[in-house]
Structure 1
Amino acid sequence: MLISLKKTVATAILLMAAATSSAATSADFSKCRQLFAGGALPVLKNASMAPRALCYDNFAVLHSGRSRTPIYVAERLNKDNLDNKITRGTRFFADARLPSGERAELADYKQSGFDRGHMAPAGDMATDAAMAQSFSLANMVPQATINNRKPWAAIEKATRNYVLRASGDVYVITGPVFDIRPATIGANRVWVPQSLFKLVYDPATRRAWVHWLDNTDDARVGKPISYEELVRRTGIDFMPGIRG
């Protein structure tokens, strides 16, 4: 019962974070729609989170002006891109495309006790420019330190290893899930996620699976859940017309 209640609460908050509809985001992502499987954008309901669509070279962010985090981050990966040896970046920055009242700032994370956790990992980036872009705070959530560096890093590595074996493009959508009264950090009150998810879809095999991990330092990687379970927990169709 407790687990079910936690899922229900998380679902309610993720739905709050779903700030627009598929039709409303189509034009916003027009320059990077190729990063979504079949060009299909997630169908999101409930407008309450001041969303803005941001296109980067290797990933796309639907950002929330309320949580000051991504709602989700989409990537298209393949083994040719991941074969590139790119020096890891180190310079985090606040994206100037976001109004100051809607974004996290570097000071919010300072001495917060949380890592700046990438949603689109630095290790996925194909060029130096994309690597630099991945350090935008629009691509970050406050993440428990051990969680970020161990179990979540293992999920990111497993995803890359799968892409290196895949026959073509693999699509990944990553995002945070918040509690009913989320903890916050910094003067801008950046929301701290309760959990994180990473959806992986391989069009060649039509297989989809989802890693779901609580944002705690004692969380452990478990068996992936199905796409259908992700939709059930969140009420959001991340790949409309492709799955289901």
Structure 2
Amino acid sequence: MTEDHVPPHITHFSIFIMIVCAVLLLALSGCFGEVVDDFTHTCPYFFADPGGVMSPPTVFAGNRYQQICQVRQGNLHEYATLYDTANKIPVYSAYRFDGLMNCRRNESWFIEPQLENGMASPRMESENRSINYQNQAVNANYEKRGFDKGHLAPVYHARDQICSDATFTLTNAAPQNSSFNQGQWRVTEKNVATILTQICSGNSAYIVTGVVPGNNRLKNRVSIPSHFWTAYCCPA
């Protein structure tokens, strides 16, 4: 199935030169995305904790679904992604929202080398077009297809510039109709931020955003989601 024109739909709802140089170096050489056996042992702090035990939403058994603690700075990760290597899109990304920080967009997209070789460095890499990546999407899959790389953990909700840059990994993106991404979905991200800023009273909110795989693919590789969804809570 190769049709590329089924648009997705939504179902439910921040001295400057030194800083810029530091961020650029991070984006080029310091970003990590660690494939792990269990979110709860490595990066549990992106999931709400209503029952006293931090636990992620559904995960699936087998090698097809990979748990990624995205971008490590020291021992700190920025968000978590459950990635579907068959459909080459995330199932969901989970993150904390701490208010609007007005981060800048990076626009340089990276791949996750550990999805191809479990012994590889967790350092995210720029795509090498001479390599045939088997387990993830690549930039070429999106070219001239009318679809954006739709963030699940978005720049707009990032808690700092490092986190914003960290969202530009293809393991955090799924094909999203351009008009939808730049229109109603952007409005939804802003509305969610407004609501959580109002109701959480300075406390962190927890957001999980995911997709439902559709029946069509980009370049016969990357599933075009039939739906994008987001769920959020403010434990306080």
1:77 matches 2:92: no
Q: 2:41 aligns with which of 23, 30, 33?
A: 30
1:186 matches 2:219: yes
Matches within 5 A, 1:211-222: none
Report the Cα offset of residue 65 of structure 1.
Answer: 0.6
Instruction: Give the match for residue 120 of structure 1.
Output: 153
Unaligned runs of 5+ in 2: 1-35, 71-76, 117-132
Instruction: Give the match for residue 156 of structure 1.
Output: 189
Instruction: Give the match for residue 90 of structure 1.
Output: 107
Structure with the higher helix share, 1 or 2:
1
> 1:101 is paired with a residue of what secondary structure?
coil
Give the CA RMSD over aligned residues.
Answer: 1.9
Mean CA deviation greater in 125-134 or 169-178:
125-134
> 2:103 is paired with a residue of what secondary structure?
coil
Change (3 A) 1:170 1:88: same
Report the Cα offset of residue 126 of structure 1.
Answer: 2.0
Unaligned runs of 5+ in 1: 1-24, 205-244
1:54-95 CA distance string (max 9 Å, x none)? 11233110001101110111011123xx2x332221111222
Query: Does the aligned pair in 2 maintain the 1:70–1:175 contact within 8 Å?
Result: yes
Structure with the higher strand share, 1 or 2:
2
Mean CA deviation greater in 110-119 or 121-130:
121-130
Q: Partners of 1:198 and 1:117 in 2: how far apart?
A: 13
Q: Which amino acid aligns with 2:81?
A: V
Change (3 A) 1:26 1:103: closer
Give the ranges of 4+ consecutive aligned residues of structure 1 lying more than 6 Å apart after TM superposition: none
Query: Does the aligned pair in 2 maintain the 1:54–1:62 contact within 8 Å?
Result: yes
Q: Which amino acid aligns with 2:47?
A: F
Q: Partners of 1:88 and 1:120 in 2: how far apart?
A: 13
Whose RCO is larger (CA < 8 A, sep 6+)? 2
Query: Does the aligned pair in 2 maintain the 1:122–1:131 contact within 8 Å?
Result: yes
Q: TM-score, normalised by structure 2?
A: 0.68
Instruction: Give the match for residue 40 of structure 1.
Output: 55
Change (3 A) 1:93 1:186: farther
**% identical aligned pairs:** 26
The count of aligned residue pairs is 173
Query: Does the aligned pair in 1 maintain the 2:97–2:159 contact within 8 Å?
Result: no
